Amino acid sequence: MNILITGASRGIGRELVNRFDNGINKIYAVARNVEGLEGMDNIIPVSLDLADIQSVREYFKNLDVKFDIVIANAAISLPHSPSFTPFEDFKKTFDVNFLSIHAMLEGVVSKMEKGKIVLISSLASLVGAPSSMPYSASKRALNSYAQSLRNLLAPDIKVINILPGFIKTDMTDKNDFYMPFLMDLKSGVDRIMYAIESNKKEYAFPKRFYYLIKLFNLLPLSIQDKLLQKVSK
């Protein structure tokens, strides 16, 4: 199979590369820094900055490859802060976490006859946390996009939207706050692989954290707002 994985140099992306690297699959591993991916059998490193939308569009339009699985994993997150986010930082977060995906798929989908598109969203998309506004908003936009894309491409191409909670990676290592139900990398990617192999339309985990968020969203908005304002101070 031809497999495309973004954010492939570290964390979840790198572990996904390892899981799919069975000696048969050909993996296009996209990252800004492809050091460590070069020289590996069946791995094609693609050095690409996903914040550069035009370069993303051009690369994938000109790439003559029919992918069987596309995993849009790359994402960035700003440090949690109660301050209003500068526009440049907000735009870069949206470019990487959301717009780059459509820029990539613009050149990929037309060459796919069947296969899977996997979008890595986040449980953070289910709550508009004021201290991580760009990240939460970009991931919530991705959820809506996933639903639209799934029904646009059905039945030939399956679209799988995955919403993980906190997984121990270099991204979460930067957080200086308590992360409930923090999972180790192997366990987190086990769940992601399960969702891909089972063709889950939408898969959120860990379930305990997901259900707590769902309960929170059932509260009156006035109570939700008080709680969110309290934790963002």
Cis peptide before 45 (omega within 30 of 0): no
Quick one: tokens of 80?
Answer: 């949690």
Number of domains in the chain: 1
pLDDT above 90 (res 231): no
Three-state SS for the chain is CEEEEECCCCHHHHHHHHHHCCCCCEEEEEECCCCCCCCCCCEEEEECCCCCHHHHHHHHHHCCCCCCEEEECCCCCCCCCCCCCCHHHHHHHHHHHHHHHHHHHHHHHHHCCCEEEEEECCHHHHCCCHHHHHHHHHHHHHHHHHHHHHHHHCCCEEEEEEEECCECCHHHHCCCCCCCCCECHHHHHHHHHHHHHCCCCEEEECHHHHHHHHHHHHCCHHHHHHHHHHHHC
Global pTM value: 0.94
Determine the residue type at 152: L
Quick one: tokens of 221?
Answer: 């908005």
Q: What is the pLDDT of residue 16?
A: 97
Q: What is the pLDDT of residue 173?
A: 67
Q: What is the pLDDT of residues 107-155, one digit of tens each?
A: 999 999 999 999 999 999 999 989 889 999 999 999 999 999 999 999 9
Q: What is the pLDDT of residues 150-190, one digit of tens each?
A: 999 999 999 999 999 999 987 776 777 777 889 999 999 99
pLDDT above 80 (res 194): yes
Q: What is the CATH number of the domain that holds 87?
A: 3.40.50.720
Crossing angle between the packed helical segments 185-197 and 11-20, to the nearest 10 degrees: 60
pLDDT above 90 (res 13): yes
Q: Which domain holds residue 95?
A: 2-232
Percent of the chain with pLDDT over 90: 82
Measured CA to CA, the distance from residue 183 to residue 218 in angstroms comes to: 26
Average pLDDT, the chain: 94
Percent of the chain with pLDDT over 70: 99
Cβ neighbour number for residue 211 with a 10 Å cutoff? 11
